[in-house]
Amino acid sequence: MYSSADGKSVTVSPRLSTGNTEPVWTPDVHIAVNDGTTINSNSDMIVNATCKRCRALGSGLPSIQTSAAAPIMFAVGPSLDLNSDDLDARIRRHAAYGQTTLDLSKAVGPGGIALDAAGNVSSPAASTTLARDDLHSDGDPAAWAHGILYAVVALALAPLDSLVAGALGRRWPCVHGVSASLYFAFVIGAMVPGVLVSREHVLTQQYRTPHQVIGLLTVVAMAVMFLWGFALSWITRAAKRRGQQPPEGTRLLAAVHRWVSRLIWVLLLVNVGLGMKLSEEKLALCLAYAALALGVVVILIPVYFCIWRCLKHKEKKDETHELTIYDHH
């Protein structure tokens, strides 16, 4: 149940679920909402309804027994406004759950809604009360782990690996190998809870959202670049052990490795934002991430430029040194 679009009535949406997945609206169960359904001044939802094509209740029927204290499991959503007349409106994962009992004997009898002497819908006293202790808070640690790990990857590990590759990759390639391995391990570690979360929600079970498509593409590209980088390093070291220069093609392959890795970083930055939008995070948090990501880019671009200039200067100096030695011979 959730508030109607005008906030004055209640939308009752019968939904079915299997396992730990988001309940899906089913047209096979029809609930006719009757007079007296409203939201009172205390924001309590009051529903008078008749369920048609529901499970049969009563003695001798193979369905639910009409116990006066039948157990029922329930869940409540987060404290976010959901005002919609759509029976298939998207719902958030529950924030708390609990178990109580209902007097199902009150649901057995002739069809329709009982009327009092004045012709109004009767409202018998509630036989079930819920205390705060009946609710158990329930978070989504997999979603939090997915988001935090990917944010760490995009804002810290990816730029750190690029800095290490640019500043130390040629002199100490093993350091770049360590940073790249840590980077790739965090990406895989972030992907696993993301897959688990995707299976819980209807919108993400088919892996067709932009966030999921970009995420899977970046993981595949990272795996290729990870192996690509180690292959280039092995080829270069093997040539040096033989006292030879690396093959000419390795220069082009190294350039492809660098630029694809930079593109992956940009996609990671964008995709974290898409993930926050998909999970319907608060606007303030999304803006804070956008500002932080932009700040990281603005700070690191001059640093990358300085590293590039230093490397170019060193290359020219090395070339001049080699020519001088050749001329003396």
Lowest mean pLDDT among 107-111, 240-244, 285-289, 291-295: 107-111
pLDDT band, very low/low/confident/very high, at 119 (cuts 50, 70, 90): very low
Query: Strand pairing partners for 101?
Result: 71
How far is it, in rounded angstroms, from Cα 150 to Cα 317?
Answer: 40
Helix (H) or strand (E) holding 226: helix 210-241
For residues 8-31, give the mean pLDDT.
86
Residue 190: what pLDDT? Answer: 95
CA distance 312 to 314: 5
Beta strands in 62-188 (DSSP E): 70-76, 96-102, 136-137
pLDDT of residue 118: 46
pLDDT in tens, 147-202: 999 999 999 999 999 888 877 767 777 888 899 999 999 999 999 999 999 988 88
Find, among 104, 194, 112, 180, the residue nearest to 151 by Cα.
194
Half-sphere exposure of residue 50, counting CA atoms within 13 Å on the CB side? Answer: 11
**55 vs 7, 52, 111, 237, CA distance in Å?**
30, 9, 14, 72
Question: What's the confidence (pLDDT) of residue 147?
Answer: 94
Measured between alpha carbons, how far is 218 from 186 in angstroms, rounded to an integer? 13
**Whole-number Å distance between alpha carbons of 245 and 257:** 19
Q: Any idea where the domains of the chain sit in the sequence?
A: 1-139, 141-328
Q: Regarding predicted confidence, which is higher, 252 or 51?
A: 252
**20-29, 47-56, 137-146, 229-238: segment of lowest average pLDDT:** 47-56
The dotted CATH code for 141-328 is: 1.20.120
